[in-house]
Amino acid sequence: MKILILNGSPRGARSNTLRLATAFADGFPDGTELETLHLSDLNIKPCLGCFSCWTKTAGRCVISDDMKTVRRAIELADVIIESFPLYFFGMPTAIKTMTDRCLPFMKTYLGTSDEDGKSSFHQLRDERMREKKLVLISTCGYVQAQPMYPALLKQYDLICGEGNYTAILCPQGELFGYDGLAERQKNAYLADVRTAGAQFAKLGKIPAETAERLKKPVLSAGGFQVVVNNHWGSGDSL
Ligand SMILES: Cc1cc2nc3c(=O)[nH]c(=O)nc-3n(C[C@H](O)[C@H](O)[C@H](O)COP(=O)(O)O)c2cc1C
């Protein structure tokens, strides 16, 4: 089994979200291979929109850059974890750029319409790609996740098809960026993420009970407000 973490945070190895993604991977059994690519360290240029990959080069991108490394890593992985912060209710630039550059994975669109409106209407060049599991792990700064993620989830539903990916969405993400803040609660949350990883490795999904636990924010709304006020409210940290 091989896991690929695509870290889309501009904070690279210091990413809050990466702590969760790493905990998830830690839950996998011994012998699982893990590769982490920090997209912020790579040179990945934006898609040119030339459609050469659809019309001329049969799935090969005309741009020569580090997307080759990402593509190869995706091809070799069984589980792909996209790990990134929520930026303005959506994905940050590095993940969007990388996603756009995945167009060569798809077959040329020839005007068909989807039957049920629920699954991606793009056909894949290599159907074996469907055997890979996609896990989306994201943190955001807001006190709760639910009001923050509808646009991103809709986008993933449209790209992947509903139910074709697994998501762990964690609010209060900044807590993970500072040692000494809510350590007990953070460690409990990370232990649940590790359990989710172990269960995912075994079952290919996160059981409902674990998923429900992961939906509960690290701190209560009141507790989070106190921590935020104490930590960020002082002139020193502003
Ligand atoms: C440019 C920018 C936009 C952001 N947009 C949102 C947002 O829409 N909603 C939210 O709750 N947090 C937002 N945040 C907060 C981040 O999602 C949060 O700090 C996250 O934990 C950072 O994770 P990282 O360390 O993995 O990059 C934003 C942060 C930045 C820098």
Residue 238 has a pLDDT of 45
Q: How far is CA 168 from CA 103, 128, 202, 214, 218, in A?
A: 25, 25, 17, 7, 13
Question: Which whole number is the average pLDDT over 221-233?
Answer: 91
123 or 86, greater pLDDT: 86
What percent of the chain stands above pLDDT 90? Answer: 89
Is the CB of residue 178 below 6 angstroms from any atom belonging to ligand 1?
A: no
Calculate the average pLDDT of the chain: 94
The fold for domain 2-237 equals Rossmann fold (3.40.50)
Measured by CA distance, the residue closest to atom 22 of ligand 1 is 85
The fraction of the chain above a pLDDT of 70, given in percent, is 95
Comparing C-alpha atoms, which of 167, 175, 177, 179 is closest to residue 217?
175
Q: Which helix (H) or strand (E) holds 211?
A: helix 208-215
Query: How many Å lie between the centroid of ligand 1 and the Cα of residue 87?
Result: 5
Q: Which residue matches tokens 């870290």?
A: 7
Half-sphere exposure of residue 99: CA atoms within 13 angstroms, side-chain side: 19
Distance 123 CA to ligand 1 centre (A): 32
pLDDT digits (tens, 9 = 90+) for 24-63: 999 999 999 999 999 999 999 999 999 999 999 999 999 9
Residue 99 has a pLDDT of: 98
Summarize the confidence of residues 86-112 as an average pLDDT. 95
Question: What is the DSSP pairing of strand 166-170 with strand 133-139?
Answer: parallel
* Cα 203 to middle of ligand 1, angstroms: 31
- Indicate which residue's Cα is closest to atom 3 of ligand 1: 87
Ligand 1 center from residue 85 Cα (angstroms): 5
Residue 123's Cβ-side half-sphere holds a number of Cα atoms within 13 Å equal to 10
Is residue 148 within 6 Å of ligand 1 at its C-beta? yes
The rounded distance, in Å, linking the Cα atoms of 165 and 99 is: 15
Domain residue ranges of the chain, discontinuous segments joined by +: 2-237
What's the whole-number mean pLDDT along residues 147-156?
Answer: 97
Give the pLDDT band of residue 1 (cuts 50, 70, 90). Answer: very high
**pLDDT of residue 117 exceeding 80:** no
For 90, 169, 191, 202, the CA distances from 205, given in Å and listed in that order, are 24, 15, 17, 8
pLDDT of residue 234: 63
pLDDT score at 119: 60
Relative orientation angle of helices 208-215 and 183-203, to the nearest 10 degrees: 150
